[in-house]
Chains A and B, each alone.
Chain A
Amino acid sequence: MSYTFQFGVIAQYQNEILAGIWMTIKLSVASIILGCAAGIVLASVRSMKPGIGRILVDAYVEIIRNTPFLVQLFIVYFGLPGMGFRVSAVTAALIGMTINLAAYSTEIIRAGIESIHKSQIEAGEALGFTKLQIYRHVIIMPAIAKVYPALCSQFVLMMLASSVCSAISTNELAASAAFIESQSYRSFEIYIVVTLIYLALALTLRGVLALAGLWLFGRRVARRTATALPEVTA
């Protein structure tokens, strides 16, 4: 192979790369917060008595989890304008990521809620907790503590999947890479560098999430979070 690698070229484009990293971080953080909040609400609705709420949440979770993220983005970005909602590429990316992550979070948190033993709730009642206190201290927090590592793996997967948003022209890191590639024709070098940046972002995000776990749930959960690899949920 008579190819000479020229990584030096990439240095000229550091502003594009930094802007891409910043957009990826913003999209990821926003969708994690929104998606996780929606997941908690939907999983709570899901765990209440059977009824229309449960059916709707189940349908939502199954539809999102059994269709590709890319197609969901296409529907949001190209489909919504036809219904009168015009959205920018960044907004579409945020909506798509939130909708996607909300479904996975719901499924993961639901599993956590189901693992809470009935006797725990009865113990809470016996201690004179109000319904809201039981919900918060006996059900939701312990449930999230149990599934926190799986939840964090999903967050990391979402951050990595945000690269797909470049297909709808969201100017995040993968789009920066494509732009620089089109300017410099140094395809292999730029994609190596950007891949390493994604790897660093994934490891950093996992570290930050482990620290948040340490603060929220203590050492044991934090350790499991730091070592867990993305789990594949059926």
Chain B
Amino acid sequence: MILRTFGFSEFGFLLSALLWTVVLTIIALSGGGVVGFLIALARTSTQKWLRIAAATYIQIIQGIPVLMILFLSYYGLSLAGLQLPPLVAAGASMTIYASGYLAEIWRGCIQSVPKPQWEASESLAMTRAQQYRYVILPQALRISLPSTVGFAVQVVKNTSITSIIGFVELARAGQLINNATFQPFRVFIAVAMLYFVVCYPLSQLSRWLERRLHARSHH
């Protein structure tokens, strides 16, 4: 039996799979961003029941493994009669996962806008929507940048879990190549390096944003 070795074409396959990791990350962050934003608003709402519902959602999502969200949406969707491709199940579950964490991050950012800002905008007869639109959210956005980018790193890494339901992203591609070449050490080090190449710059960007934010707020 002739085994393939881990060469250029295999590395090319990993690179094309990396593209799917990036696509899935973008789906998770945009979908999770929209849902998470709404939940963050609910979490900081004046309505008590909305706050409690949002807090419960966040607690549940942050208290269960990403793998379980994945299995539940994968089997849940097929149970509802929808035979969906793994990309949809993966995208849906990563969206749910990201929404639970982004909601909590952004709640913290909204609440860290100083109280006088709320009072000042209220005294200008702004409606609550106007307060959010013109006063609170622009400030919260700036505060949220470092931790949001930091969370993006977690999302990139956690997309690897979707390989377990057979979605071919970077980690799954690594497994497939390993099955063909049986050079696990070389293959998975290459996979890890590719993840690192994506995640490390994001981590550094997050740190740089953090430093810049602190430098500004001390003036």
Contact = CB atoms under 8 A, between A and B. Distances in A.
Contact of A67 (B105, B157, B161): B157
Contact of A66 (B72, B146, B158, B195): B195
Contact of A163 (B67, B149, B188): B67
A199 B60 contact: yes
Given A75-B189, A163-B68, A70 B63 contact: no
Interface hub of B65, B150, B174 (most chain A Cβ within 10 A): B65
A188 B188 contact: no
Interface in B168-186: 171, 174-175, 178, 183-185
A198 B64 contact: yes
Interface stretch (B113-121, B127-135, B196-204): B196-204
A164 interface: yes
A74 B75 contact: no
Contacts of A198: 63-65, 68
Contacts of B65: 160-161, 163-164, 174, 195, 198
Interface string A178-210: 000000000110011011001100110000000
Contact of A195 (B64, B101, B174, B195): B64
B199 A1 contact: no
A71 B79 contact: no
B10 interface: no
Contacts of B146: 234
B7 interface: no
A187 B80 CA distance: 13
A55 interface: no
Contacts of A66: 153, 157, 195-196, 199-200, 203
A69 interface: yes
Contact of A191 (B75, B101, B171): B75
Interface in B144-166: 146-147, 149-151, 153-154, 157-158, 160-161, 163-164
Interface residues of A, number: 43
Interface of B is mostly: helix
A63 to B, nearest CB: 7
Interface residues of B, number: 52
Interface hub of A3, A71, A75, A188 (most chain B Cβ within 10 A): A71
B150 A74 contact: no
A192 B72 CA distance: 7
B104 A229 contact: yes
Interface of A: 1, 3, 62-63, 65-72, 74-75, 78-79, 81-83, 156, 160-161, 163-164, 166-167, 174, 177, 187-188, 191-192, 194-195, 198-199, 202-203, 229-230, 232-234
Given A70-B163, A75-B189, 7 more contacts: A65-B153, A66-B199, A74-B184, A75-B184, A79-B185, A167-B164, A232-B147
20 contacts: A3-B79, A63-B192, A65-B199, A66-B196, A68-B161, A68-B195, A69-B157, A70-B163, A70-B171, A71-B160, A74-B171, A74-B175, A74-B178, A75-B189, A79-B189, A160-B66, A167-B163, A188-B76, A191-B75, A234-B153
Q: Which 9 pairs, one residue from A and one from B, show the smallest C-beta to C-beta distance?
A: A234-B150, A78-B184, A234-B206, A66-B199, A68-B160, A79-B185, A163-B65, A187-B75, A68-B157
